A and B are shown apart, each in its own frame.
Chain A
């Protein structure tokens, strides 16, 4: 089941994510209210929790870490929702940017420190079936990575751009927002990545 849910994300599908998952009546400006409006939080969460889990599952092999990071992503989103600017991109782009920051922080801090400051322990909410489901999700994401092509040939920065634009369906501007770089940098990295995937060149040494 999990595999079937994850697999449609694989491949070089340039189309944006299915808009039906987000209530059309849910305006982007409602994101700012997710800390005080339960309906707004439900809408955003239901629409994008799968996007967040997929993003994290591509980077973390441990379902417990994926659960913790998913919880931390949404807690941080609630705390910082007032800074969401709909002019800069869709909510999913902003949310994946939050997930990216949470992930970077995760890799830089020790597990004991992370648990000491965690506001919601995601792993505490897991039961056995959840763990199996997340493991399948992680496996599916990794298989999808292989189907996409040999992403190992890309630099970490190029891979990030490919995953956000070509897999998550973000626009160039939205990926730039999520990564904290300019749209020009995203275009350059994506062009290099696509060129590299068509050829056999190794990761770029150029720091762009």
Chain B
């Protein structure tokens, strides 16, 4: 006599995997290097005029986001928002005096690096707490000597700070 487990396996045999979403738009395949301390990713930059970021919607609804260059940040913000992620992507500024303190995003909201593809961050929009926004602060690292931007991801009360200062503030 068959059981639930047997019947489920039959159903699974008939399930066709969801098509893998293509990353859009990616100019070149360059692996990124993560320099992660307190949630920061370092990504090598790309020469040329390709896309500055890449974003993929995964079958489970999560979003994989990669910033490749320190430009087109408004477009990256719009793309994340349209994908259901309340987020702002901004370059850190030396003249920013904002003192808003962000919090570390919980692990069920943010994963990184993703599956060995260091440099990518995965966001689960369903885990986004109401009234909050993810702040992705991008800046060029000085100490590591690596090319490409570093991104720090923290959680802020919506709508988030007007600007992100260089270096501070850290997670609360």
Interface size counted on chain B using CB atoms at 8 A: 29
Contacts of B114 in A (CB 8 A): 83
Contacts of A133 in B (CB 8 A): 3-4
Stretch from A17-25, A66-74, A144-152 at the B interface:
A66-74
A90 to B127 CA separation, bound complex (whole angstroms): 26
Contacts of A207 in B (CB 8 A): 104
Please judge, given known A-B contacts A76-B60, A108-B127, whether A49 and B17 are in contact too, CB under 8 Å. no
Stretch from B5-13, B90-98, B140-148 at the A interface:
B5-13
Q: Is B124 an interface residue (CB 8 A)?
A: yes
Contact residue among A74, A80, A108, A109 (Cβ-Cβ distance under 8 Å from B58):
A80
The answer to whether B11 touches A180, judged by C-beta atoms less than 8 angstroms apart, is no
Q: Is A115 an interface residue (CB 8 A)?
A: no
Please judge, given known A-B contacts A79-B59, A180-B108, whether A74 and B8 are in contact too, CB under 8 Å. yes
Contact residue among A42, A75, A104 (Cβ-Cβ distance under 8 Å from B108):
A104
- Kindly state the interface size class of chain A when it binds its partner: 35 or more
Contacts of B60 in A (CB 8 A): 76, 79-80, 98, 101, 105
Contact residue among A87, A120, A179 (Cβ-Cβ distance under 8 Å from B12):
A120
Q: Of A35, A109, A179, which is in contact with the most chain B CB atoms at under 10 Å from its CB? A: A35
| Interchain nearest-CB distance for B1 vs A (Å) | 8
Please judge, given known A-B contacts A79-B17, A79-B59, A85-B115, whether A180 and B107 are in contact too, CB under 8 Å. yes
Contact residue among A98, A104, A108, A130 (Cβ-Cβ distance under 8 Å from B4):
A130
Contacts of A80 in B (CB 8 A): 58-60
A153 to B51 CA separation, bound complex (whole angstroms): 50
Q: Is A81 an interface residue (CB 8 A)?
A: yes
Provide the main secondary structure of the chain B interface. loop
Please judge, given known A-B contacts A108-B126, A181-B107, whether A45 and B12 are in contact too, CB under 8 Å. yes
Chain A residues close to B by CB (< 8 Å): 35-36, 38, 41-42, 45-46, 49, 53, 67, 70-71, 74-76, 78-83, 85, 87-88, 98, 100-101, 104-105, 108-109, 119-120, 122, 125-127, 129-130, 133-134, 179-181, 207
| Interchain nearest-CB distance for A97 vs B (Å) | 10
The answer to whether A42 touches B59, judged by C-beta atoms less than 8 angstroms apart, is no
The answer to whether A41 touches B116, judged by C-beta atoms less than 8 angstroms apart, is no
Q: Is B111 an interface residue (CB 8 A)?
A: yes
Q: Is B20 an interface residue (CB 8 A)?
A: yes
A192 to B108 CA separation, bound complex (whole angstroms): 21
Please judge, given known A-B contacts A78-B12, A134-B4, whether A179 and B17 are in contact too, CB under 8 Å. no
Closest to B11 in A: A120
Contacts of A45 in B (CB 8 A): 9, 12
Please judge, given known A-B contacts A35-B17, A119-B15, whether A70 and B59 are in contact too, CB under 8 Å. no
The answer to whether A41 touches B8, judged by C-beta atoms less than 8 angstroms apart, is no
A83 to B20 CA separation, bound complex (whole angstroms): 11
**5 further interface pairs, Cβ-Cβ under 8 Å (given A41-B12, A105-B126, A180-B111):** A71-B12, A76-B60, A87-B116, A125-B8, A207-B104
